[in-house]
Amino acid sequence: MTYKSLALYLAILLVGCNNQDSNTTQVTPPIEKKKEEIFITSEKTTYSKNEKITLNTTEKTNDITWFFSNPSLLSKNTDGSYSANQIGSTEVYAKKGDTKSNSIQISINELVTSKTSSTLTFNLDIEKPSNTEINLVDSKPVTYSNIHLFSDIYFTRDGEKVYLVNNTLGPINTFYVSTSESNGGKRYSKLTLNSALDAKHVAEVEGAVFLEVFAKGNLPNIHLQNSLFSPRLTIGPENQNAQVSDYCSDISVRCYRPVLGDEINDYAVMAVNIKNIFNRKSFLDTAREYLKSHCSGFPDCVNYTGQLDHDLYTYLTMSTKTQNVIWQVFGNVYGAPQGLGVGYKPTLMKTYNDSYCLFNVRSCWASVQDRFVDKTSSFYKDLNFTLYNYILHETAHAYDLNHESGWAYGISDELENYLRDYLSTEKAQSLNNIEVAKHLIQVKEVSDKKIKFNILSENDALAEVKLMLISEAPVTYSADLDVMGNITLSLSEALTAPLYLIASVGDDDFLTTLRFNNEGIGLQKNTFTIGNQTFYVMNNDNEETQHLTPPQFFQKCLIGGGRPAYKSDVFKLYDFVKANFQSSAPISYNTIIAADGPSNNRFHYMQISDSGIDYHHYWTNSKIGADKSIICIQESDVVSLSNTQ
């Protein structure tokens, strides 16, 4: 056999061995096509509002579809690209047919440069707080007082029992509270009462859930953010049994006197309704629009040179915290005026009132003719809308806003029109509940240049949020919204004036307001939180403060974003400490100088013991000394960004 024949024989043999079943057809499998991949990138991960967003992809064809987890943040341009609409975060991916790309996260912030007022608008999936209903029993009147704060609501104890005190001018039925948790955080809840607690009443709290959560630990802090129009109002006589003859014995001269008897109720009704209206977005918008469109008719507006818009400047002036305002009447000799008022303008460079009325509490007042609130008179106004006009007109004077400001004539007239549209005659004549917004601003973290917060609301849904940031000194900041719904304001510099943060959410007409102060109350020796207020007993263990006069020491309180305590505040703290600690010792000092007194050059000198408080007078130019101190009060809607002074 030749070599070639042998090779052919072996080849045939091998093929036969590999094809044992000669009837099987051999199929060569197709080559699998590699799956298409899309990879996307962005030029950067953070964009500014209105900036064009640059997205890149490895797929060069035009049949790519882009997907965004939060499409409301973006708008599509005519060339097919996208621009940032509002602050927030969104996940981005692309698809071509069934092929999906990788995902990337893009954040959009907003930079605001040197503005005294700015508005942020964005959509937010709002967090809902827990809602607790509590029962109140055995409601009783509190001790009479003619001093009224709209924030004077708090819990207190007597042994194992817990009580809710409403020392305001109007009934309350709901509000937000917070309690401290073991991890150092705070738990926020909305409390709803089984029935409204009347003005100037206290009631025992019932309800196993509430008592189990709160009674064994610290009592809850109350958060009231309806803080626009927050005067320290005096309505009524200091002596509850006073008579007209105690003030107006000579009928030949004009007589100013407190409101008495049923007159007090008429003034309380107006005060509560004006308070509620000032915290409505619709009234803020009405006032701003009126002042802008009628500015040429008011010289103070025409000649105004401040950096903050005149409409906001005057609205916030009327909303300064605890301006001392006396609502009274005048009679005997009337003349032309429907009312009279006088006062001093507070500054917006401090969080609390720092006008002449701070210490001279009788210097800012508003009055209307006594016959307008006298039910036996033919001139009785029966709480009609015109009477509201008169009282707001005169109250504007108590804040030193004159006839040329647009308030004493202008906004007071607009209030009358607004009431006709938004408040029925029946409600205008009724003592309504003090109303709060459905939402709350929850502060999570602060530093001298950072404010982090979110929004809580009983309506936990996607809603439009509008934030107004207002300050008399220009502020530069960037605003970010993360995927958890937290808003962060990053300030370029520390605040030089209080920053107002006013929030509106969805169709809720009520506003919430916080005030941020750069400095903090840094000299405290002891602190006590009573409802919406924190009382700081100031440390006077150093020579520097001991050589100060009371007004000089009070200024440290004001710079720190607080206000000095008055006589009524000292009594409130004393009663709270005695009820909760069974002793006055935790106050630390036996003598407290209050910020008011029997005359303009004297303060109340209050000597504290377990048996009670004795008070005398203390001259304004006397040194504090080593054995006395003052008390500073800060409310929960004021947030200090620093704890040093």
Q: What residues contact residue 329 under an 8 Å CB cut-off, 6+ apart? A: 256, 257, 258, 259, 263, 367, 368, 369, 370, 372, 373
Residue 37: Cβ-neighbour burial (10 angstroms; 0-12, 13-18, 19+): exposed
Is the model more confident about 534 or about 355?
534
Which pLDDT does position 461 carry in this prediction? 78
Instruction: Identify residue 269 by its one-letter amino acid code.
Output: V
- Quick check: 330 and 247 in contact, CB under 8 A? no
Q: What residues contact residue 469 under an 8 Å CB cut-off, 6+ apart? A: 112, 115, 117, 118, 119, 120, 475, 477, 489, 499, 500, 501
CA distance 645 to 578: 31
Q: Does the CA dihedral 544-545-548-551 come out positive or negative?
A: positive
The helix (H) or strand (E) run that includes residue 615 is strand 612-619
Which pLDDT does position 292 carry in this prediction? 96
Does the pLDDT of residue 7 top 60, yes or no? no
pLDDT mean over 282-292: 96
- Among 100-109, 279-288, 497-506, 596-605, where is mean pLDDT lowest? 596-605
Which pLDDT does position 249 carry in this prediction? 85
Instruction: Identify residue 335 by its one-letter amino acid code.
Output: G
pLDDT mean over 243-259: 92
pLDDT mean over 293-301: 96
Does the pLDDT of residue 8 top 80, yes or no? no
Q: What residues contact residue 411 under an 8 Å CB cut-off, 6+ apart? A: 287, 290, 291, 392, 396
Which pLDDT does position 2 carry in this prediction? 47
Q: HSE (CB half, 13 Å, CA atoms) of 287?
A: 26
Does the pLDDT of residue 556 top 70, yes or no? yes
Q: What is the pLDDT of residues 574-608, one digit of tens each?
A: 999 998 888 888 998 899 999 998 887 889 999 99
Q: At what angle do helices 310-317 and 281-293 cross, to 10 degrees?
A: 130
Q: What does the mean pLDDT of the chain come to?
A: 89
pTM listed for this prediction:
0.90
Which pLDDT does position 9 carry in this prediction? 44
Which pLDDT does position 216 carry in this prediction? 53
Which pLDDT does position 581 carry in this prediction? 84
Which pLDDT does position 184 carry in this prediction? 67
- Quick check: 576 and 634 in contact, CB under 8 A? no
Does the pLDDT of residue 29 top 50, yes or no? yes
Does the pLDDT of residue 185 top 90, yes or no? no
pLDDT mean over 120-143: 91
Does the pLDDT of residue 15 top 50, yes or no? no
Which pLDDT does position 254 carry in this prediction? 93
Which pLDDT does position 211 carry in this prediction? 61
CA distance 153 to 222: 8
Does the pLDDT of residue 5 top 60, yes or no? no
- Quick check: 332 and 254 in contact, CB under 8 A? yes
CA 276 distance to own-chain centroid: 14
Instruction: Identify residue 580 by its one-letter amino acid code.
Output: N
3-class secondary structure, 259:
coil
Which pLDDT does position 453 carry in this prediction? 96
Number of H helices, E strands in the chain: 12, 38
Does the pLDDT of residue 310 top 70, yes or no? yes
Does the pLDDT of residue 541 top 90, yes or no? no
Which pLDDT does position 580 carry in this prediction? 84
Which pLDDT does position 213 carry in this prediction? 58
Distances (CA, A) of 334 to 245, 256, 527, 640: 18, 11, 49, 47
Find tokens 């009224």 and name the residue: 148
Instruction: Assign 3-state DSSP to the chain and report helix, strand, coil percentages, each to 5.
Output: 25, 35, 40
pLDDT mean over 608-626: 90
Which pLDDT does position 36 carry in this prediction? 63
> pLDDT-derived band of residue 26, with 50, 70 and 90 as boundaries?
low
- Quick check: 623 and 546 in contact, CB under 8 A? yes
Which pLDDT does position 540 carry in this prediction? 87
Which pLDDT does position 30 carry in this prediction? 58
> pLDDT-derived band of residue 480, with 50, 70 and 90 as boundaries?
very high
pLDDT above 70: percentage of residues in the chain: 91
Does the pLDDT of residue 148 top 70, yes or no? yes
Token readout for 34 is: 């590699």
Find tokens 């056999």 and name the residue: 1
Domains and CATH numbers, the chain: 40-110 (2.60.40.1080), 130-227 (no CATH), 231-429 (no CATH), 439-516 (2.60.40), 527-634 (3.10.100)
Q: What residues contact residue 32 under an 8 Å CB cut-off, 6+ apart? A: none
Find tokens 């009231």 and name the residue: 224
Which pLDDT does position 28 carry in this prediction? 58
3-class secondary structure, 426:
helix
pLDDT mean over 493-517: 96
Which pLDDT does position 182 carry in this prediction? 67
**Gyration radius from the chain CA atoms:** 34
3-class secondary structure, 499:
strand
CA 630 distance to own-chain centroid: 26
Closest C-alpha among 208, 218, 187 to residue 456: 187
Distances (CA, A) of 345 to 288, 318, 569: 20, 9, 23
